[in-house]
């Protein structure tokens, strides 16, 4: 993971939604000091927690960990007719 970038992103996402570290820590079921270390980049964010955070914030995991600048996946267009016609 891009430690320098993702720590800023998870903090920014939390602050944009008005969540406290304590609130997010409860959702992640981790100690508040541990969550603080994730945001400061002192500890690597486990994938299971990255998934929970992405779900909480409504973003893609690759966006959360700064591998992408696209926060949400675009929905595929549904074809109006079957492909075999």
Q: What is the pLDDT of residue 21?
A: 95
In the chain, the N- to C-terminal Cα span, in Å, equals 45
pLDDT, position 76? 45
Q: What is the largest CA-CA distance in the chain?
A: 59
Domains of the chain: which residue ranges?
Answer: 3-64
CATH of domain 3-64: 1.10.260.40
pLDDT along the chain (85 residues), means of 10: 74 95 95 93 92 95 88 56 45
- Residue 45's Cβ-count burial label (10 Å; 0-12, 13-18, 19+) is buried
What was the pLDDT predicted at 7?
86
Structure token pair of residue 64: 């959360």
Gap between the Cα atoms of 41 and 60, Å rounded: 20
Tell me the C-alpha distance between 12 and 51, whole Å: 17
Stated pTM of the model: 0.77
């Amino acid at each position: 993971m891009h430690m320098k970038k993702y720590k800023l992103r998870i903090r920014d996402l939390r602050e944009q939604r008005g969540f406290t570290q304590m609130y997010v820590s409860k959702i992640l079921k981790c100690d508040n000091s541990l969550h603080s270390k994730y945001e400061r980049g002192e500890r690597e964010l486990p994938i299971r927690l990255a998934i929970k955070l992405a779900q909480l914030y409504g973003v893609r995991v690759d966006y959360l960990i700064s591998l992408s600048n696209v926060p949400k996946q675009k929905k595929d267009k549904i074809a109006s007719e079957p492909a075999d016609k």
